[in-house]
Chains A and B, each alone.
Chain A
Amino acid sequence: MADLHAAGAPAALGLADPAMAQAQLERVITDLGRVYRERNDALRALARAHHEALLRLSIAAEFRDDDTGVHIVRMGFLAEALALALGQNAAWSKLLRMAAPMHDIGKIGVPDNVLKKPGPLTREEREVMNRHAQMGADILGASEVPLFKLASEVALSHHERFDGSGYPRGLAGAAIPLSGRIVAAVDYFDALTMDRCYRPAIQDKQALEMMAGERGRLFDPVVVDIFLDRADDMVALRDRINSHRPQFSALLDDEPLGAAVT
């Protein structure tokens, strides 16, 4: 090495040479870019795996409550459509589509003798049943990922009523998060218009009239008005989902509303 210097070899092989310094910086930035993309891909994969696990748990909770599991898929798409109709931006609406299907995940913690009881619940059983909102929020809430924060908010607030008579917190009006107000209305309509073991589906027209009757009581009047205004679109979307039977992966994927069900 000493000989090289002695022979007058260029000292400019180090960072003192501006061209070398620039080239080295470019290599570092290239590597940083690779690490940046790998990190983002890994975070996305992690969030997706977490979402998938929780969706599967939601489906398990839903199956226990006797349905085919399509209810929660419809909930996602109907909530997204209603959010868009209410003027919410596409990103939030899509997040709600992914979050809404997990609203009843807390039912996984409700014992069968309460969840599946055919007759009316006693006061104590009702209290046990109503705990599913808080349990769902707890299951979903241990995360800083926006999707799970929204899902937790929905689980906690989807049984609140606009007039303040709901649970678990008895919130009223705008104190109820918009996500909860949207999901409450969509859940009501979809639950009425599907077959249950104890009754056949209620006709759409009658269900819409029942929803109108709850305007300002159970539901936000603005949410009801927009739902009724777009009732034809909502029913058509629901029927498209029923005929295409998309799996819950349709809720997982980052695709626009139309792609999964058209």
Chain B
Amino acid sequence: MKKILIVEDQPDIRKLIRMTLEFEDYEIHEAADGAFGLRMASAVGPDLVLLDVMMPGELDGLQVCQRIKSDPKLAGLKVVLLTARGQARDREAGQLAGADDYLVKPFSPLQLIETIERLVAAV
């Protein structure tokens, strides 16, 4: 079963994301901030990380994404950024950070599940 890690500081949103991912058979893990998410990524070995961009704490989503993508031990791990901002330069920042895809809040459940299906099918 493919493993998905959700990194999102808002518990309500995290729950809605989890419920959406449960449409398919995934093993789902959750983290409430960037630093914990990064440690979970190493500990759990997920196939994909869904990463909120704006989070309080020492690491925001873009920074977590950069660290994941530059860590050889996490090679192949897919990252999808989730953010309330949808400006072109935010997408660019996501691409620069190495994200595999970029979704905007409020998220579309079908778009989320289809994006994740497509990315993990290629793993």
- A-to-B contact residues, CB < 8 Å: 22, 25-26, 29-30, 32-33, 36-37
Shortest beta-carbon distance, A87 to chain B, in Å?
A: 16
Main secondary structure of the interface of B (DSSP, over half): helix
- A29 close to B12 (CB less than 8 A): no
Bound Cα distance A198, B42 (Å) = 65
- B113 close to A26 (CB less than 8 A): no
Tell me, yes or no, whether B16 is within 8 Å of chain A by CB.
yes
- B19 close to A33 (CB less than 8 A): yes
Bound Cα distance A33, B23 (Å) = 5
Task: Report how many A-B pairs have Cβ atoms within 8 Å.
Answer: 23
Bound Cα distance A22, B17 (Å) = 12
- B113 close to A36 (CB less than 8 A): yes
Instruction: Give the chain A neighbours of B20 by CB distance below 8 A.
Output: 29, 32-33
Instruction: Give the chain A neighbours of B19 by CB distance below 8 A.
Output: 26, 29-30, 33
Instruction: Give the chain A neighbours of B109 by CB distance below 8 A.
Output: 29, 32
The residues in B between 19 and 45 inclusive whose CB is less than 8 angstroms from any CB of A are 19-20, 22-23
In the complex, the chain B residue whose C-beta lies closest to that of A37 is B23
Supply 14 further A-B pairs (C-beta < 8 A) apart from A29-B19, A36-B23, A37-B23: A22-B12, A22-B15, A25-B16, A26-B15, A26-B16, A26-B19, A29-B16, A29-B20, A32-B20, A32-B109, A33-B19, A33-B22, A36-B110, A36-B113
Bound Cα distance A32, B22 (Å) = 11
Count chain A CB atoms within 10 A of each CB in B15, B19, B20 and give the residue with the most.
B19
Give the interface size bracket for B toward A: 10 to 19
Bound Cα distance A36, B20 (Å) = 10
Pairs A-B, 10 closest by C-beta atoms: A33-B23, A29-B19, A36-B23, A22-B12, A32-B109, A29-B16, A29-B20, A25-B16, A29-B109, A26-B19
Instruction: Give the chain A neighbours of B15 by CB distance below 8 A.
Output: 22, 26
Instruction: Give the chain A neighbours of B113 by CB distance below 8 A.
Output: 36
Shortest beta-carbon distance, A22 to chain B, in Å?
A: 5
Count chain A CB atoms within 10 A of each CB in B16, B22, B23, B110 and give the residue with the most.
B23
Instruction: Give the chain B neighbours of A33 by CB distance below 8 A.
Output: 19-20, 22-23
Instruction: Give the chain B neighbours of A36 by CB distance below 8 A.
Output: 23, 110, 113
Bound Cα distance A36, B24 (Å) = 9
Bound Cα distance A25, B20 (Å) = 11
Bound Cα distance A29, B109 (Å) = 8
Instruction: Give the chain B neighbours of A22 by CB distance below 8 A.
Output: 12, 15
In the complex, the chain B residue whose C-beta lies closest to that of A28 is B109
Shortest beta-carbon distance, A58 to chain B, in Å?
A: 28
Bound Cα distance A32, B21 (Å) = 12
In the complex, the chain A residue whose C-beta lies closest to that of B18 is A29
In the complex, the chain B residue whose C-beta lies closest to that of A32 is B109
Q: What are 6 A-B pairs with beta-carbon distances under 8 A?
A: A22-B12, A26-B15, A26-B16, A29-B19, A33-B19, A33-B22
Bound Cα distance A26, B20 (Å) = 9
Bound Cα distance A29, B15 (Å) = 10
Count chain B CB atoms within 10 A of each CB in A22, A26, A29, A37 and give the residue with the most.
A29
Instruction: Give the chain A neighbours of B23 by CB distance below 8 A.
Output: 32-33, 36-37
Bound Cα distance A149, B16 (Å) = 37
In the complex, the chain A residue whose C-beta lies closest to that of B113 is A36
